[in-house]
Amino acid sequence: MRRSAEDPGEGEWVRDRGAWTDSPMRWSIPLGRLAGIEIRLHLLWPFLAAIEMTRAWLGHSALGPAPTAAALGCLLASVLLHELGHVAACRRLGGTADEILLWPLGGLAACRPPHDWWSNLVVAMAGPLVNLALLLAAGLLLLAAGAPAWGAAFPHPLEPAAALALVGGGGWKGVVVLLGWVNLILLLLNLVPLMPLDGGRVVQAIAWRRRGELDATMLAIRVGQVAAIVLGLVGLLIDQLGLVAIAVIGWLWGWQVSRAIRLGEGASLRGDGLPAGAFEPSSEWTAPRANDRAASRAEEKAAREREALAREQVELDRVLEKIQREGLDSLSIAERRVLRRATTRRRRDEA
């Protein structure tokens, strides 16, 4: 598969077997369509799943063969639901989304939400909220079945085998334990403020509101690269090489995007081939060239000032209506401050 050369920002998958050699991220197979969304599976997924199953059969895994197979199934289903959460939120907000790629470190939903900070924030949060809902549902089901709250219904992230032992090790309770454990891992991972994970996207969206999209992106990248270093060190300390891999990929992604922005290359902020929760923002955004950045910042500043003036005018109208109804003495200190600001601004404009 490859992205359309005519419109690379639109996220269209083109089935071209000859293009598979261009990028390892194109090595995928179709699984089918759901509500108009094409779902594809990266070929590394069954390869690494086979390695995990082999390790389990040889006794080199914390879980046995059957629990490992169940955990892999729960992981695949949970990542798919996570990405469908992004897609559903994007479509509900008026954006477009039509593809999901599942790969070993998570998933990639080709989402293009409306080009504003709020829409990007909602889409970023939708995936982790799905994981939270699945975690709570699994926990409540186990509590209703009499399982211990701590360690089973809400398992330790590093001790899935201990959680299985608390419910007898197998049966439907074991599958539910693994479902809760997988979604706990996905939720914790996406709380890390590392772009292109959802935590990094949340940082970007919140900063976008005050700083504009470009500055917010650079801030999120800097925060994410610090988070990548911390995550990598934690992964080494607890002997979790998966965390180290995600940290390295996240740090390199941030470096690549920040370099493209500094060089003024038209690089849209897509998370192609990156960990769980990476999604595409609106294809309308491209990094401005270096000589356009000052103009871009000036436009964003002017837009913020216009918004502030509009809010001030609404408040002034309310204050004036109150004066008409109840008189000047009825104004609070804050309302008097609004009136003074408006008077000062008007005198300045007249001068």
- All residues at 6 or more sequence positions from 176 whose CB lies less than 8 Å from its CB, including other chains: 138, 141, 142
> What residue spans define the domains of the chain?
2-287, 294-350
Backbone angles phi, psi at 345, to 5 degrees: -65, -45
pLDDT at 5: 36
Q: Supply the pLDDT for residue 339.
A: 81
Question: Residues 113-151, buried b or exposed e (16+ Cβ, 10 A)?
Answer: bbeebebbbbbbbbbbbbbbebbeebbebbeeeebeeeb
pLDDT tens, residue by residue, 96-149 = 888 898 877 678 888 889 888 999 999 999 999 999 999 999 999 999 998 888
- As a whole number of angstroms, the distance between CA 25 and CA 193 comes to 24
Is the pTM higher than 0.85? The answer reads no
* Short-list 280, 237, 290, 232, CA closest to 259: 290
Specify the pLDDT at position 246: 87
- Ranges of residues in the chain whose predicted pLDDT is under 50: 1-22, 265-291
- Predicted confidence at residue 239, as pLDDT, reads 83
- Taking the C-alpha atoms of residue 62 and residue 52, their distance in angstroms, rounded to an integer, is 11
pLDDT of residue 147: 87
Amino acid at residue number 129? L
**Token pair belonging to 200:** 């990094």
> Degrees (nearest 5) of the Cα angle 301, 303, 308?
95
| Predicted local distance difference test score (pLDDT) of residue 274 | 34
Non-local (6+) Cβ contacts of 203 within 8 A are 193, 195, 219, 220, 223, 224
pLDDT of 83 reads 93
State whether residue 129 is helix, strand or coil.
Answer: helix
The DSSP bridge partners found for residue 99 are 38
The per-residue pLDDT for 296 is: 60
